Amino acid sequence: MDIKAIRSEFPILDQQVNGKPLVYLDSSATSQKPTPVIEAVNSYYRLNNSNVHRGVHTLGTRATDQYEGAREKVRAFVHAQSTEEIIFTRGTTTAINTIAYSYGNANLSDGDEIVLTPMEHHSNIIPWQQVAKTTGATLKYIPLQSDGTITMEDVQATITSNTKIVAMTHVSNVLGTINPIKEVAKIAHDHGAIMVVDGAQAVPHMKVDVQALDCDFYAFSGHKMCAPTGIGVLYGKKALLEEMEPVEFGGEMIDFVDLYDSTWKELPWKFEGGTPIIAGAIGLGAAIDFLNTIGMDNITEHESKLVTYAMQQLATIDGIDIYGPEKRAGLITFNLVDVHPHDTATVLDAEGVAVRAGHHCAQPLMKWLQVTATARASFYLYNTTDDVDRLISALQRAKEFFGDVF
Ligand code: 7TS
């Protein structure tokens, strides 16, 4: 990978923050956007802006072609069978809520079980809690090993004939754990349950093939993969989506409307009520083109090298706790012993290094780790070993700054 050329596509990286060149290590929260994505959104608004799927005028046709063209790019990117299976949403959160409220409420009842893990982001916990309250279903958790992984024995033991839904993150946004989705999906299916995958931290960083995984639903967000905020994707198997009711009703999603009853459009549009996120989808299409040009395998390899280097360098710092397994995605969650992560992140920010501090929308996992918060450095295709070196020296500064507590 020509990292210099890649970095030159991200104008935001070329700036000083607090008098130091910016080191952006918060891509798990949201990624930066390359020029082709910014330009795609810009040129859509300057040249083609119009509503989609209505009327016959030229701008409307162009906007519709671009919007539906983006859907085909997403389909190919995750290797779905058909564009009918690709629903544009506001992000991962909206996608999971759609599954929970539509599929969950219709298919769960008293005595049914929803199986999760304690490493889930809140957006893959709370919708299921809500559905459980409405339907009488119960939540069960696959226990974590001390390194933040799950075992197939525990998966086997937790999923039973009462399990109707298994919902699991592909990659943990805190631990970096990569879960064995294909194997878990097989066990779920053997018990008659469906497999829901939160792919927010996977799709931006690795090749994902929804057919090879054989998951039933797969949710992800555009903004973590170089696309704008406000656009995301719900992939679902056609047979399931066809049976499901929409959760939002109104314009765009209908076939016929009468005074007392209405019918819905076919897939995928029945799930896209209202004027859709046109510019966002076009931006996502441009982001996919950009990522494909670099190659997802190259991105995975680049991040893997960076995270290995970062782990080696962090090991040279005394008094640092690092959470998560050895084999991990491109992020590292840590705490300087006796320093609050917000203080660590504040010192790092003064050094121009952006990391996230907090509970990372994973409070149950924080409880399991027996901490209230952590700091997290997350890597993407534009990060370099220089960025890691800057992180390390900024952490040394933080240690000096809070020296009395060591
Ligand atoms: N699932 C996972 C695994 C995530 O990491 C996130 C966002 C979401 C779901 C929600 O995505 P959204 O686009 O709908 O908000 N994670 C983070 C994070 O780690 N720091 O900020 C947001």
- pLDDT, mean of residues 75-102: 98
> Is 361 in the active site?
yes
**182, 161 in Cβ contact below 8 A?**
no
Name beta bridge partners: 20.
17
Q: Which residue has the tokens 């706790």?
A: 321
Q: Which amino acid is at 143?
A: P
Q: Which amino acid is at 250?
A: G
Per-residue pLDDT of 4-17, as tens digits, reads 999 999 999 999 99
| Confidence label for 1 from pLDDT (cuts 50, 70 and 90) | confident
Judge if the beta carbon of residue 202 lies within 6 A of ligand 1.
Answer: no
Q: What is the pLDDT of residue 404?
A: 57
Cβ neighbours of residue 249 closer than 8 Å, sequence gap 6 or more: 262, 273
Q: What is the pLDDT of residue 403?
A: 73
- pLDDT, mean of residues 162-178: 98
Enter the DSSP assignment of 329.
-
Q: Where do the domains of the chain lie? A: 3-32+295-401, 38-292
- pLDDT, mean of residues 310-315: 97
Q: What DSSP assignment string belongs to 299-323?
A: HHHHHHHHHHHHHHHHTTSSSEEEE
CA angle (292 as vertex; 287, 294 as ends), nearest 5: 100
Per-residue pLDDT of 326-344, as tens digits, reads 999 999 999 999 899 999 9
| Confidence label for 405 from pLDDT (cuts 50, 70 and 90) | low
Instruction: Let me know if domain 38-292 sits in CATH 2.60.220.10.
Output: no
In this structure, which residue's CA is closest to atom 6 in ligand 1? 200
Judge if the beta carbon of residue 85 lies within 6 A of ligand 1.
Answer: no
What token pair was written down for 393? 């020296």
What token pair was written down for 250? 């109104």
In this structure, which residue's CA is closest to atom 11 in ligand 1? 92
Pick from 110, 111, 114, 120: nearest CA to 100: 114
Per annotation, catalytic residue among 96, 277, 294, 361: 361
Judge if the beta carbon of residue 331 lies within 6 A of ligand 1.
Answer: no
Ligand 1 midpoint to CA 17 (Å): 25
280/228 Cα distance (integer angstroms): 6
Q: What DSSP assignment string belongs to 190-212?
A: HTT-EEEEE-TTTTTTS---HHH
Q: Which of 25, 26, 28, 223 to mutate to test the pocket of ligand 1 (most atoms within 8 A of CB)?
A: 28
| Confidence label for 174 from pLDDT (cuts 50, 70 and 90) | very high
Judge if the beta carbon of residue 93 lies within 6 A of ligand 1.
Answer: yes
373/350 Cα distance (integer angstroms): 20
Per-residue pLDDT of 42-55, as tens digits, reads 999 999 999 998 77
Q: What is the pLDDT of residue 56?
A: 84
113/165 Cα distance (integer angstroms): 7
- pLDDT, mean of residues 116-140: 98
Alpha helices (runs of H) in 215-277, residue ranges in sequence order: 238-243
E strand or H helix at 67, and its extent?
helix 58-78
Cβ neighbours of residue 340 closer than 8 Å, sequence gap 6 or more: 373
In this structure, which residue's CA is closest to atom 18 in ligand 1? 29
- pLDDT, mean of residues 259-269: 97
Ligand 1 midpoint to CA 259 (Å): 40
E strand or H helix at 396, and its extent?
helix 385-401
Pick from 32, 37, 42: nearest CA to 7: 32
Ligand 1 midpoint to CA 358 (Å): 13
**Rg over CA atoms, the chain:** 22
Judge if the beta carbon of residue 92 lies within 6 A of ligand 1.
Answer: yes
Kindly tell me if the per-residue pLDDT of 96 is higher than 60: yes
Q: What phi, psi does 241 have (nearest 5°)?
A: -60, -35
Q: What is the pLDDT of residue 12?
A: 98
- pLDDT, mean of residues 102-131: 98
Q: Which of 221, 277, 284, 363 to mutate to test the pocket of ligand 1 (most atoms within 8 A of CB)?
A: 221
Kindly tell me if the per-residue pLDDT of 406 is higher than 70: no
What token pair was written down for 118? 């304690």
Kindly tell me if the per-residue pLDDT of 90 is higher than 70: yes
Q: What is the pLDDT of residue 402?
A: 87
In the chain, count of helices (H) and strands (E)?
A: 15, 17
The fold of 3-32+295-401 is Aspartate Aminotransferase, domain 1 (3.90.1150)
Q: Is 403 exposed, middle or buried (0-12, 13-18, 19+ CB in 10 A)?
A: exposed
What token pair was written down for 146? 């001390």
Residue 135's alpha-carbon distances to 100, 114, 130, 174, 221, in angstroms, are: 11, 11, 9, 30, 28
Q: Is 8 exposed, middle or buried (0-12, 13-18, 19+ CB in 10 A)?
A: middle
Ligand 1 midpoint to CA 33 (Å): 17
Q: What is the pLDDT of residue 337?
A: 93
168/198 Cα distance (integer angstroms): 6
Judge if the beta carbon of residue 34 lies within 6 A of ligand 1.
Answer: no
Per-residue pLDDT of 374-397, as tens digits, reads 999 999 999 999 999 999 999 999
